[in-house]
């Protein structure tokens, strides 16, 4: 069975807050849910399927579904880190196609900025995880796990710090138009490579922001989508995978997108060259570079050349990406950027992105997420969407 | 040369029944590397179910020699430290720290050898230094 055309993204909402000292995580989830429902023209009583991941408080979906007083026929708490919400869109359409629900709500929210979390501080990702005793004592944080990928990419392919910097530069060109973005100043390649080294070879400006906030999506059946007034965003294809250390046969040059990408393109029946806009997970500049290669936008090892000289800037380059400013400049709520990737793709397909960054005739878009640590074990999920 | 003035404290490893033999040997200065009995291949990290065949696993002592596959020097920390993947001569790659080195010069391709540094509870923890 294919999910192609079996479900539509009919509601999308990004919380405007970037610092939420006065709100709880549950409240942020619920405010995002209310925003997405209002966007779709639905109410909470229309929701019969609910999806959330590890950022939700309490046990799976129980706390949040109870907080929002939902009556559900379908629940799913798939958690593979920051890309989980792309998996949720795919899983929601699978459930809709099987008749298990017809209006699915997906929420993400968190307040890592208020709580003082940083990607430079090692943390235990499950004391009983089988890898913890071998890695946590080493000081593996988020940034240095990604940095090892960047170091290896540079070593094998000659990728440069300046090429990576172009990714931040492109994101900043987009963020200047987003009043909610945390970083709105346009930066130059020189500013990125001149910013302090955090974990070699990654600089401070190679890293995403740490922000509070959240987002929500509404996925519906084709029948319900027809009754709603919003532009219809049809999901054409989806793919998901993960990649680990392969029992010690470590290869840091590629990501799980080598599997999730081709699966999504095959289901959608389109090619990378057909994509008009791409939301690419941008926890760090290297994340974008590797995913662009793995999704087939360029050959492996050629990502550095591909992203340079503004090729990711809307209106300038061939592959406009993250036109909201992405995680690099706009928002990375709960330290998980997956849902905002889908939200900006929906804006582009609806023609509702900021006019300065709106891609002309944007009828086909891709969103890709990475969850966990690219340098050790991570999830990858790809969605291909069409304006109908 | 930017050698560390202070060494980073190594949190105690959370030992479990699968890995007690490794840490017991570590206390005698022996580096045990897990191997798949069916294929004879070494793997990392240690576990008692072969990641190649789901079959049995045996420990073999390793000389602890290898080559840096990738390395990143963490600058934004109270004490600078290097995290790395080292490909052992047995053919598998493990995450580790590079210590007792010049952090401005440590690089992919460098030959390294195992050295044991005490974790906070005194357990010898496997790290690598220039060979």
What is the least distance, in Å, from the CA of A205 to any CA of chain B? 13
pLDDT at A151 over 60: yes
Distance between B50 CA and the closest CA of chain A, angstroms: 9
**Alpha-carbon distance A132 to B15, whole Å?**
9
| Residue A30 C-alpha, separation from nearest chain B C-alpha, in angstroms | 35
The reply to whether residue B14 touches residue A132, judged by beta carbons under 8 angstroms, is yes
Interface test with A, best of B16, B74, B87 (most A CBs within 10 A): B74
Distance from CA of B72 to the nearest CA of A (A): 5
Angle between helices A285-294 and A257-268 (to 10 degrees): 50
Q: Do B45 and A201 touch (CB under 8 A)?
A: no
Chain B interface disruption, residue of A124, A157, A199, A248, most B CBs within 10 A: A248
Contact check, Cβ <8 Å, B45/A248:
yes
A-B C-beta contacts closer than 8 Å: 116
- Residue A6's closest CA among A264, A224, A221, A263? A221
CA distance A247 to chain B (A): 5
Q: Which residues of B touch A (CB under 8 A)?
A: 8, 10-16, 18-19, 42-47, 51-52, 69-77, 81, 83-85, 87, 91-97, 108-109, 119, 125
Q: Do A131 and B45 touch (CB under 8 A)?
A: yes
Instruction: State the total domains in chain B.
Output: 1
Q: Which helix (H) or strand (E) holds A126?
A: none
Specify the CATH number for the domain of residue B113: 2.40.50.840
| B43/A132 CB distance under 8 A | no
pLDDT of B3 above 70: no
pLDDT tens track for B17-51: 999 999 999 999 999 999 999 999 999 999 999 99
CB neighbours of B40 closer than 8 A, spacing ≥ 6?
none
Residue B89 lies in a domain: yes
Decide if B33 is inside a domain.
Answer: yes
Q: What average pLDDT does range A158-180 have in this prediction?
A: 98
- Contact list in A for residue B15 (CB cut-off 8 A) is 133
pLDDT of residue B1 exceeding 80: no
pLDDT band at B4 (very low <50, low <70, confident <90, very high): very low
A-chain CB neighbours of B73 within 8 Å are 197, 199-200
B10 assigned to some structural domain: no
Banded pLDDT at A118 (limits 50, 70, 90): confident
Tell me the nearest-neighbour CA distance from A131 into chain B, angstroms.
7
pLDDT recorded at residue A75: 97
pLDDT at A104 over 50: yes
pLDDT for the residue B5: 57
Question: Is residue B7 included in any domain, yes or no?
Answer: no
| Inter-chain residue contact B15 with A134, CB threshold 8 Å | no
What is the structure's pLDDT at B2? 46
Residues in chain B, how many? 131
Mean pLDDT of A23-47: 98
Average pLDDT over residues A76-99: 98
Q: What confidence tens digit (pLDDT) does each residue in B51-103 have? A: 999 999 999 999 999 999 999 999 999 999 999 999 999 999 999 999 999 99
* Residue B24 falls inside a structural domain: yes
Q: Would you give the DSSP letter of residue B7? A: P
Q: What average pLDDT does this structure show over A333-338?
A: 95
**Among residues of chain A, what percentage have pLDDT more than 70?**
100
Predicted confidence (pLDDT) at residue A365 exceeds the cutoff of 80: yes
**Cα–Cα distance between A82 and A373 in angstroms, integer?**
10
Mean pLDDT of the residues in chain A: 97
In a domain, residue B3? The reply is no
Which residue in A155, A201, A248 is closest to B43 by CB distance? A248
Distinct helix (H) and strand (E) counts, chain A? 12, 11
Q: Domain residues for B117? A: 20-130
**B83 and A131: CB-CB below 8 Å?**
no
User: Considering the domain boundaries, does residue B9 fall inside one?
Assistant: no
pLDDT of res. A119: 82
Contacts of A200 in chain B (CB under 8 A): 72-73, 75
pLDDT at residue number A22: 97
Using CA atoms of A68, A70, A73, A76 in order, give the dihedral in degrees to the nearest 10: 0
Indicate whether B12 belongs to any domain: no
The whole-number average pLDDT for the span A138-158 is 97
Whole-angstrom CA distances from A79 to A53, A56, A118, A330, B40 are 5, 10, 20, 23, 35
This prediction has a pTM of: 0.97
pLDDT exceeds cutoff 90 at A247: yes
3-state helix, strand, coil in chain A (%, to 5): 35, 20, 45
CA distance B1 to A360: 53
């Amino acid at each position: 069975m294919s999910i192609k055309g079996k479900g539509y993204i009919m509601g999308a909402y990004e919380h405007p807050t970037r610092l939420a000292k006065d709100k709880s995580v549950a409240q942020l989830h619920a405010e995002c849910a209310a925003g997405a429902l209002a966007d779709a023209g639905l109410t909470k009583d229309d929701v019969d399927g609910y999806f959330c991941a590890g950022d939700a408080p309490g046990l799976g979906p129980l706390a949040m579904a109870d907080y929002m007083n939902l009556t559900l026929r379908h629940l799913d708490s798939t958690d593979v880190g920051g890309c989980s919400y792309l998996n949720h869109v795919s899983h929601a359409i699978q459930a809709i196609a099987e008749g298990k629900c017809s209006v699915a709500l997906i929420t993400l929210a968190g307040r890592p900025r208020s709580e003082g979390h940083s990607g430079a501080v090692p943390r235990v990702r499950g004391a009983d995880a089988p890898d913890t005793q071998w890695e946590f004592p080493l000081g593996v944080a988020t940034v240095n796990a990604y940095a090892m990928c960047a170091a290896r990419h540079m070593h094998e392919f000659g990728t440069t710090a300046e090429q990576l910097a172009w990714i931040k530069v492109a994101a900043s060109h987009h963020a200047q138009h987003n009043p909610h973005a945390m970083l709105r100043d346009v930066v130059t390649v020189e500013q990125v490579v001149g910013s302090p080294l955090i974990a070699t070879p990654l600089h401070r400006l190679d890293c995403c922001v740490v922000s509070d906030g959240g987002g929500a999506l509404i996925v519906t059946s084709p029948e319900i989508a027809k009754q709603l007034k919003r532009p219809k965003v049809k999901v054409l294809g989806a793919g998901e995978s993960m990649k680990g250390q392969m029992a010690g046969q470590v290869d840091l040059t590629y990501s799980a997108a080598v599997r999730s990408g081709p699966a999504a393109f095959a289901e959608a029946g389109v090619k990378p060259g057909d994509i008009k806009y791409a939301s690419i997970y941008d926890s760090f500049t290297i994340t974008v570079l590797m995913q662009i290669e793995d999704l087939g936008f360029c050959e492996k090892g050629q990502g550095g050349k591909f992203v340079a000289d503004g090729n990711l800037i809307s209106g300038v380059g061939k592959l406009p990406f993250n036109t909201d400013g992405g995680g690099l400049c706009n928002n990375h709520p709960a330290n998980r950027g997956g849902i905002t990737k889908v939200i900006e793709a929906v804006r582009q397909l609806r023609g509702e992105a900021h006019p300065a960054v709106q891609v002309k005739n944007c009828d086909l878009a891709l969103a890709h997420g990475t969850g966990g640590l690219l340098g050790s074990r991570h999830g990858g999920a790809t969605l291909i969407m069409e304006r109908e | 040369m930017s050698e560390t003035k202070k060494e980073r404290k190594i949190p105690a490893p959370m030992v479990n029944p699968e890995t007690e033999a490794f840490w017991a040997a570590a206390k005698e200065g022996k580096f045990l590397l897990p191997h798949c009995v069916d294929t004879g291949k070494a793997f990392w990290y240690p576990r008692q179910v072969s990641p190649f065949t789901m079959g049995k696993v045996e420990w073999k002592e390793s000389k602890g020699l290898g080559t840096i596959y990738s390395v990143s020097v963490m600058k934004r920390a109270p004490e600078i430290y290097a995290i790395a993947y080292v490909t052992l001569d047995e053919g598998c790659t493990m995450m580790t720290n590079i210590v007792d080195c010049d952090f401005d010069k440590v690089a992919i391709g460098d030959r390294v050898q195992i050295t044991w540094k005490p974790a906070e509870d005194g357990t010898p923890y496997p790290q690598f230094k220039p060979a």
